[in-house]
Amino acid sequence: MKKLRVGIAGLGDFGLLHLTVLSQLPYVEITRVCSRAPARAAEIAARFKVPAVSTDYEAFARADDVDVVSVVTLGQDHRAIVVPALQAGKHVLVEKPLAETVEDARAMADAAKRASGKFMVAHICRFMSQYYRAKELVAQGRLGCLSIIQTHRNNHYATLAPGRKKNPMRETAIHDIDLALWLTGSDVAEAHGFKRYNQSDQEADSCLAVVKLANGTLCSFASSWLGRDAMPAGLDAMMKIIGTKGELEIRMPPPNLVFIDDREHSHFNPETTSSPAMIRQTALGCEIEYFLACVLNNTVPDVITPDEAVKAVDAAIRIDACCEEVRQ
């Protein structure tokens, strides 16, 4: 079987997770990595035994030794890699959010429509079994008419390096915004909210918005970068969906393993593992393998479409614009 030649752009923590998944797949050969930091690129290439290194995004995107491109850079840099890669006939998987502006997001989606390669935006929650089951129950009418969707995400204070924290509505609440639009098939009609600046004058670290969708569903989206380092399992997230016939609740991490001793009370979150032996079983592993299966089988990825990814970016930006600033 001919191996897929894969290149990864963006070598931060999440880029390393992509590399870890891809390095476990027998039908994949990682042929190139890319970072604007030459020392980082060289270090990671040596660690994963990758033969080629790039520090220029466009040169990487058009490299002859790559069939599939995984883009895990900052959102502001996605377009500079995605568009030339698609133009060069590559298959492209790009992390969410697709872009920081609707203009950039639409440019990539339009390029994908003209391209011969497959294209998918990595909205990982759509590959988590809990949310997929929620979609099935909603589609079956088991919850009736959806009245309220409540969500929150509290992320580690130390998750992002200083100066790289992004507005939590557009960076993390976008997970729940996308899920709400997916579950309801609707769009944002009205939004009101607040965003608070605690750690920086440039970027908010907490946000809360109440949103009415066009179909009448009421949603609340809350997200922050204030989780303590001792917070168990890397993430505190919740979604509660209340309908006229039923309701459901999803929590991350799931309460599947709890460890307690005299110094620690913690949960194990299977979705945050970096173990090479287990990572293929995570939503990230499923997401990457799903996309590669679409490439190998010449099928169009439809768990999420480019237009849906653009819609999520547009909705997050519009909700954020309705949030009043709180500085005190």
pLDDT tens-digit readout, 126-182: 999 999 999 999 999 999 999 999 999 998 776 655 555 578 999 999 999 999 999
- CA–CA gap between residue 204 and residue 102 (Å, rounded): 20
For residue 19, being part of any structural domain is answered with yes
Residues 161 and 209 in one domain: yes
Q: Which domain holds residue 211?
A: 126-278+312-326
pLDDT tens-digit readout, 79-126: 999 999 999 999 999 999 999 999 999 999 999 999 999 999 999 999
- Cβ atoms 178, 108 nearer than 8 A: no
Where among 73, 95, 117 does a domain terminate?
95
For residue 177, being part of any structural domain is answered with yes
Output the six-digit token pair for 121. 């935006």
Cα 154 from chain centre: 15
Output the six-digit token pair for 65. 């030794």
The count of structural domains within the chain is 2
Where among 41, 73, 95 does a domain terminate?
95
Q: How confident is the model at residue 222 (pLDDT cuts 50, 70, 90)?
A: very high
- CA–CA gap between residue 23 and residue 171 (Å, rounded): 27
For residue 285, being part of any structural domain is answered with no
Residues 28 and 80 in one domain: yes
Residues 67 and 131 in one domain: no
Q: Model pTM?
A: 0.93
How big is the chain by its Cα radius of gyration, in Å? 20
Residue carrying the six token digits 């089988």: 297
Residues 36 and 132 in one domain: no
Tell me the CATH number at 188. Answer: 3.30.360.10
Residues 62 and 207 in one domain: no
Residue among 114, 111, 115 nearest 103 (CA):
111
Residue among 215, 237, 226, 224 nearest 150 (CA):
237
Residues 176 and 322 in one domain: yes
Residues 84 and 146 in one domain: no
Residues 82 and 207 in one domain: no
E runs forming strands in the chain: 4-9, 28-34, 52-54, 68-71, 91-95, 119-122, 146-156, 188-196, 206-213, 218-227, 235-243, 247-252, 258-260, 265-267, 323-326
For residue 136, being part of any structural domain is answered with yes
For residue 162, being part of any structural domain is answered with yes
